[in-house]
Structure 1
């Protein structure tokens, strides 16, 4: 246990050192004139814009809008992905029939279906939510599908011997067996939902960090632009950390 804590502390210190070196390089590049300060503000100017925007500006409202859109799309995508993945993964015949269709649709980037979504829903929040759900559903669906398909044959034989129905097999054997895959897929899905939310806000002119970043870029407000980017990175880091902690707690039974 002490060795694990020492390794964790060493890793955290290394990460902080790398972050400090990156900020120092950023500060030096902005102060030395390598890049015009109209395009590369200093870390201090970025931090000042971030604090000002969160304390009294519109940045806090933009952040709330993006977080709400990201979480709503992620929840919807997770529910759809788990349900569809469980139904398809629990049936060998369904996997055989539907797998080619899934492989055709899966590589489509969410941005590629935005014109279709705009035609169906218009430039609205519902359009962005639909695209976010579509783009972030695939990691969860494929992870659930893989987890259900990887159930040991002996467990399937036990389920048949006990005359378990399909729903009972999914809830009592399939989903618990697939839980590690599902949780990993949900972590990846959260990142995708954040990315697609920002892109959708930029394209559909919806209230959020994507629109704030786009407006700052168009008006050459570099510090506000970088403040939005830093905030997006912080949101992605925090959401991933929370889901990683939840994953470790839910999968404690796997650790020796």
Structure 2
């Protein structure tokens, strides 16, 4: 491990320790009521008890499954549609303005429409997750495929490659850094939308667990769910970052 990486890791740990210390001090000296902010010990005890004896583990697995399935569908749709749009100047001219109009639309804004179509069901949450998380992958793939160097396009024309061969051998490999970055962002969006969808549609998951704990003023359970969500987001990002480095080893000098 390089020295800079060690320094970055130590700084991150120091910041985490500072946040934990501030949390402990706030509860120790009563700066914030424990009704709303439990001590770290209570939160971690609730987390351990919920995973061992309660429904927290089942809720966690439900959220993980929903997030992973939505992310997979979003990545698949985003890569396919992005490759088609990025490889076709006509498609970009016609569709990109619409994409730029839809891109800033929050995924949660689609929930009322999804409820009207699918009802308050698990399918509704999955559809919103997939559609909401698709945009980073779609836009990244389209940009990566469209930004192929002009010399490579000339080689494609000289070799008379089909559109599919061009995408598989030149377009998608050139877009791989953009695609992987888009997939990492899509994973975060998938987690956020999964939690919001579980809250709205009353589907089993960490979103429902956190909402029920907040409504019953069970601050320990509330923070236990929040800690789990943070851990899931951090772990998934680390896994994708490691996969990205391995897949892009050919780019390093």
Give 2:245's aligned residue: 248
**Could you report, residue by residue, the CA deviation over 1:121-151 in whole angstroms, capped at 9, with x for unpaired residues?**
0000000000000100000000000001110
* Unpaired runs of at least 5, structure 1: none
Match runs of 1:42-121 below 5 Å: 42-121=39-118
Give 2:173's aligned residue: 176
Offset at 1:106? 1.2
* Unpaired runs of at least 5, structure 2: none
Offset at 1:9? 1.0
Match runs of 1:112-191 below 5 Å: 112-191=109-188
Give 1:225's aligned residue: 222
CA distance in 2, matches of 1:83, 1:68: 23
CA distance in 2, matches of 1:78, 1:8: 30
CA distance in 1, matches of 2:197, 2:28: 34
Match runs of 1:26-41 below 5 Å: 26-41=23-38
Q: Secondary structure at the match of 1:123?
A: coil
CA distance in 1, matches of 2:60, 2:158: 53
Match runs of 1:1-20 below 5 Å: 5-20=2-17
After TM superposition, the runs of 4+ consecutive aligned structure 1 residues lying more than 2 A away are none
CA distance in 2, matches of 1:20, 1:107: 36
Q: What TM-score comes out, normalization by structure 2 length? A: 0.99
Q: What TM-score comes out, normalization by structure 1 length? A: 0.98
CA distance in 1, matches of 2:33, 2:41: 16
Offset at 1:165? 0.7
